[in-house]
Copies of this chain bind each other. A is one copy, B any other.
Amino acid sequence: MKNTESAENYLETILILSQKLPVVRSIDVATELGFKKSSVSVAMKHLRENGHIVVSSAGYITLTEAGREIADMIYERHNFLSSWLISLGVDEKIALEDACRIEHVISKESFAAIKRNVGGFQTNS
């Protein structure tokens, strides 16, 4: 998990689940992402070690300040990019998939520039 891509995705998923569920457990993340619980268990260990999440003795996962910041950033990109692509006429499914990939590789600068310059479309948030 040196590459941030996978970590970012886990953090974003934890954020999204925390809005839908009363508590977020490892198994919930696995279900959401379609991964095996063993994979998620290892990933959560790394996120814990890197100070991105805290896990209670009951197994409830919470984002730390640092983890939350990353999750928020990625989630904002996700929402913006998918809404924007949809507003351009891209099929919703494809727009969501693309947003999921672009959100991890775009720079702060480019994202800000796009937001600034193509901002005038219907946001669904």
A: residues with CB less than 8 A from B are 85, 88-91, 94-95, 97-98, 101-102, 105-107, 109-110, 113-114, 116-118
Question: Do B105 and A105 have beta carbons less than 8 Å apart?
Answer: yes
Q: List 12 A-B contacts (CB under 8 A).
A: A85-B110, A88-B116, A89-B116, A90-B107, A90-B109, A90-B110, A94-B107, A94-B110, A95-B110, A98-B105, A98-B106, A105-B105
The answer, among B97, B98, B114, for a CB contact under 8 Å with A88, is B114
The answer, among B98, B114, B116, for a CB contact under 8 Å with A107, is B98
Query: Please, how many angstroms separate the alpha-carbon atoms of A44 and B60 in the complex?
Result: 47
List, in ascending order, chain B residues with CB within 8 A of A88's CB.
Answer: 110, 113-114, 116-117
Q: Which residue of B lies closest to A101 (CB)?
A: B105
